[in-house]
Each structure stands twice: as structure tokens, then as C-alpha cells.
Structure 1
């Protein structure tokens, strides 16, 4: 079984699993499909992290020349971090999950991340929403269209993610095998 970590974020216990095992991805994605306690929209947080190459100069150069190492999916209480670069092949369950018509995947920079995932792994997503423009439109604050996830979380939820992010402070290279 992959690595399992639990932490508290804004009063909610979140279980995070890191895995590179196809069967475990299949099982955990099934957890995302279980009916929620409400009949609202099914929204899944989405992110990728890259394998970093230290010899690149700019962030753009690092992004362009680095491969997607992990795919992160979160539904509010469960997070799944899939080590794409250590899988033998992309699980069919993942490909199918990302194409479900009743699920919306949200992130900052999701369009660029999806283009990179398509190119590197053949991964596509049916319903993807860019959070910045959505927040700007809903809250009628145009500057939010250009904000990162940390700034959006403060603006929308008054929550400082930097204080609650246990994993991002640990890893510079998400491509390492022993996350």
C-alpha cells in the first residue's frame, strides 16, 4: 500500500494517499465515486507537480522541460497523489474517471497542466474549470482571475494554505520514488 497521511485543514480531517500502484489507484478512485451526503455538483481538486531539473534558469523553462511527476486529486476529505512517473502505465480507471460527465475538475493553471498531461501520458479531462476566472466572475473582483491558489483561498475562504500545507514544504522534486 502507498503512503497514507492524515492532517487537519480548517477543521476537516483529510486523508492523503501517495501511490504508484495501479490497483491502489483503482481502489481509491472508487472512493471518489461513492455518493456524497448531498446532491450538489461533484467537484474534484486537481493539480500536478513536476520532476524538477535544477540546471534550468527560469520558472517557464523549468515547466517546459520538466515532466509531470504526480497527479493530485482531492474531494474535500480524501486526497490521492498518483506518482505518474513511477507507474508502468496510466490506469484505465484514471482515464475513465477524468472523463466522467458529472464531475468537474478545478485548479489554478489546469488548462496548461492538462495540455502537459495529454502530451506526456495521453491523459485528458472532460470538465476542467480554471479557478481564477471563476472566482473573479462570481465575486466580481477582476484581479482574482490572475491569482494563484494561495491568494484565491485567502480571498474566497479567508484560509492561509501556507500554514496548512505539509507536503509542499517537504518536496522540491516530486519525481523522486520515495515520497
Structure 2
């Protein structure tokens, strides 16, 4: 069943409109709203993340009956047929959360948007996530995916930032502290209640933070890689 819910969250003194939907028409409209040029002609930054449909130990054993999940090697996780439950995007003003059912198709507009060469998608662990998606699931690829930990470590000259989480990066890069805004309930399930406010707020905080961190870092990097027009010889 198709459904849409629009919510508003105040983060860092700014109201962020979050649309949670699985309706193709709404998804297309929201992605179209992201396709707006930047004021400084630079690369537009999109915070990106996704969540998996959870699968329990016993569900995996049922789906893979030939696998002994109670064997001697307890450190080996059972094979998981989990599929993405949500795709989350933020341009700093609004967020789009696309929720899916198991084995459902990914919207064509999202697939095409992720391959746009003049958009940079940023997140924590984003390159590994896309590699996993492209190899094992939908063949989803991304033209420009940048891991924020690696970017922050490079730009700021602080190697330890490679291993920091989103909250620490947000504080180090933007002096942004959204920890108090995070829901304290972690027992939600996107698959059971995709329109719930708790996971929607958590997702919004994450991708909004990704956008803020990525925009700040890439703005610092841009003068070196894309000098102003007055620096460029037109001869």
C-alpha cells in the first residue's frame, strides 16, 4: 500500500521538512526539488544514508536451513537476505525518506539521481554501503560518494577523524551538537511502522548532519580544486 507522511523537525534553529513515502509520484517530486542549482555554481551536497530491513537469527536459519548457525564458530554471522528498508536524503532544507518493502523495486528517479555527476553524496561509511548495494542487491551505483571521516581527516589534517561518528564530526567541523535531539528509543522497526516519527527524526538528524559536515568541508576544499574564475587563464 502506498502512503506518505510529512513531518517537521527543528534542528539547529532551523525547521527541516521530512517527507516519508513510498509513492513514486511523491518521490519524483521531492527528488526534482533537489535538482536546483547552487548560488556559487559549486557541487551540490546531499546527505545520504539507508537502513536495512532487520532479520532475526531464527529467520535467517529458516531461510538458509542448510546453514548451522549453532556451530562452534559463534563469531560468524548467519547469511542475511536483508534488503534496504529506507533510503534517506537531505539537501540541508528538506529530507526525503523512501521506504521500501522487501524485494520491492528502487524508484528509477532515485537510481538516476545517484548517478548525477554534479552532485556529491556524503555520509559515514558511504562508500562501503554503495559497494555492498551495487554488488549484492540492486546494482545501485553512485557517481560521487564521499566518506565524511576520510574527508575530514584529509582536510583538517587530523587522522583520527577517520574513525569518528557523525556526532563527533558534526561538533569538530561545524560546532553542531544535535545529541540532545536524538530519540532515546532504539526499538523501532522501519518495516513494521515506516511512518513512525521516532525513526524519521533519527534519520533526519543523521542526513542533515551529513549535509552540514560535507558542505563545510567541501567548501574549504573547493578553492584548491576549483579556483575562482579570476585565477583561471582563458587564453
| TM-score normalised over the length of structure 1 | 0.86
Q: CA deviation at 1:54?
A: 4.1
For residue 93 of structure 1, what is the aligned residue in structure 2? 109
Change in CA separation of 1:51 and 1:114 when aligned onto 2, cut-off 3 Å: same
Query: Which protein has the bigger strand share?
Result: 1
Find out whether 1:120 has 2:120 as its counterpart: no
Contact 2:83–2:102 (CA under 8 A) maintained in structure 1: no
| TM-score normalised over the length of structure 2 | 0.67
For residue 152 of structure 2, what is the aligned residue in structure 1? 135
Deviations 1:73-125 (A, max 9, x none): 10001100011336842222111110011000000010121123222222111
Structure 2: tracts of 5 or more residues without a match: 59-68, 196-235
Match of 1:22 among 13, 21, 24: 24
For residue 119 of structure 2, what is the aligned residue in structure 1? 103
Contact 2:37–2:44 (CA under 8 A) maintained in structure 1: no
Question: Within 5 Å, which residues of 2 pair with 1:23-172?
Answer: 23-55=25-57, 61=77, 66-85=82-101, 88-118=104-134, 119-165=136-182, 169=185, 172=188
Structure 1: tracts of 5 or more residues without a match: none
Q: CA deviation at 1:52?
A: 1.8
For residue 5 of structure 1, what is the aligned residue in structure 2? 7
Q: CA deviation at 1:5?
A: 0.8
- Cα distance in 2 between the residues matched to 1:62 and 1:12: 43
SS at match of 1:121: coil
Q: CA deviation at 1:173?
A: 2.1
- Cα distance in 1 between the residues matched to 2:79 and 2:176: 27
- Cα distance in 1 between the residues matched to 2:22 and 2:116: 22
- Cα distance in 1 between the residues matched to 2:79 and 2:177: 25
Larger radius of gyration: 2
| Count of equivalent residues | 178
Q: CA deviation at 1:49?
A: 1.0
Change in CA separation of 1:63 and 1:140 when aligned onto 2, cut-off 3 Å: farther
Change in CA separation of 1:142 and 1:52 when aligned onto 2, cut-off 3 Å: same
Change in CA separation of 1:156 and 1:61 when aligned onto 2, cut-off 3 Å: farther
- Cα distance in 2 between the residues matched to 1:79 and 1:148: 20
